[in-house]
Structure 1
């Protein structure tokens, strides 16, 4: 009967994603990669961080970071504004001021924070402090996707609220530009329905929604964060 060698078994476990700690085989030591490193390819994982910048410098800062080779995003929405002369002008309104979202590794973030146009990075006040202070805040990929989708496809102005909210019914948009977007529906003080999506640490983005354009998500469905 064919018997697989010890070293080949260990290699197979590593390839299918198991973290193997200090395996001894043929006097060679195998160990898992450090935290924050992608197990599959051995490279550091990239996350979404929030850089704090001067007000009204968000777009310029994002452009500078892009020129440096980083993936930077400013939460903004294109809309038309009516001027006093009666003409309409298309503008790109910043929805979350003084913040630039940066997709990079932790080592890259440590380099970026030294740049003169970066004030600091947002921290997680709820996290356990270490010798350097509070941990840096990370925005989940799913929430970044939802934010970009809402800002890029909504026909109504999107607002940002820097606080959490009382949970509402979980819903999914079934028609219109936001079709497929999931969130929670909240009734505002004036009786209008609003679709809210959560952004960890930061708060929420919200937009007016017609109740006819949404459907409830049943208990067997999962609302992704």
Structure 2
């Protein structure tokens, strides 16, 4: 992210109240403000059925493209927006190229999962998919974001190719 300058429109990251992302997006649409709410299609399972739903990629955030003056007007007129993401006291912007790449990644449907706390050696993880689904182990190393070396309890260290998306921190 880069800090703002007083020129034309920028992508800003609006922090919104909990569970108000879609309402804020609808409000911005009605005001003809360019915005982006990243969602992905996921299958939710209940005991009696499965359903494909749109899940938020970044809960509590909506991307807004506007000028600095419009940003202030949006903040004043939209009570569900708590503020805009800032670094060192300055409102941050997202470069157009970064935003386009992020949009392409989300819209590709490749199972984008954003984590504010990346996996690190020593973390306890659970395998979510594949033949080892449900197994809990200790993460030993991560190489290139795909190859995970894990320690399975007393069995020692086993190295396996896993997509980082198929494990979760516990």
Please, what TM-score do these two structures have when normalized by structure 1? 0.51
Which one scores higher on RCO, CA 8 angstroms, separation ≥ 6?
2
Which of these residues, 63, 77, 86, is aligned with residue 123 of structure 1? 86
Unaligned runs of 5+ in 1: 1-34, 38-44, 126-133, 167-184, 195-206, 209-225
- Kept in 1, the 8 Å contact 2:38–2:58? The answer is yes
Bigger share in strand: 2
1:161 matches 2:124 = no
Q: For residue 189 of structure 1, report the CA deviation from its aligned partner.
A: 5.2
Structure 1 81/186 Cα, relative in aligned 2: closer, same or farther at 3 Å?
Answer: same
Q: Distance in 1 between matches of 2:25 and 2:35?
A: 5
Q: 1:189 to 1:64 in 2, by over 3 A?
A: farther
1:4-23 aligned within 5 A: none
SS at match of 2:80: coil
Distance 1:189 1:101 in 2: 36
Q: Which residue of 1 aligns with 2:69?
A: 107
Residue 145 (1) aligns with residue 104 (2):
no
The 1-side partners of 2:97 and 2:16 are apart by: 24
CA distance in 1, matches of 2:71, 2:149: 41
Tell me which of 124, 132, 136 is aligned to 2:91: 136
2:58 aligned with 1:96, yes or no? yes
Would the aligned equivalents of 2:75 and 2:83 in 1 still touch at CA under 8 Å? Answer: yes
Return the offset for 1:79: 1.9
Paired with 1:108 and 1:80, the residues of 2 have a C-alpha distance of 37
Which of 188, 192, 213 aligns to 2:162? It is 192
What count of residue pairs does the alignment treat as equivalent?
128
- Specify every segment of 5 or more residues in structure 2 that has no aligned partner in the other structure, as ranges: 121-143, 151-160
Report the TM-score, using the length of structure 2 for normalisation. Answer: 0.66
Partner of 1:83 in structure 2?
A: 46
Structure 1 residue ranges, 4+ long, deviating more than 3 angstroms after superposition: 163-166, 187-191
Whose Rg is larger? 1
Correspondence for 1:65: 28
Deviations 1:31-78 (Å, cap 9, x if unpaired)?
A: xxxx633xxxxxxx1111011111111011111011111011112111
Shift of 1:89: 1.2
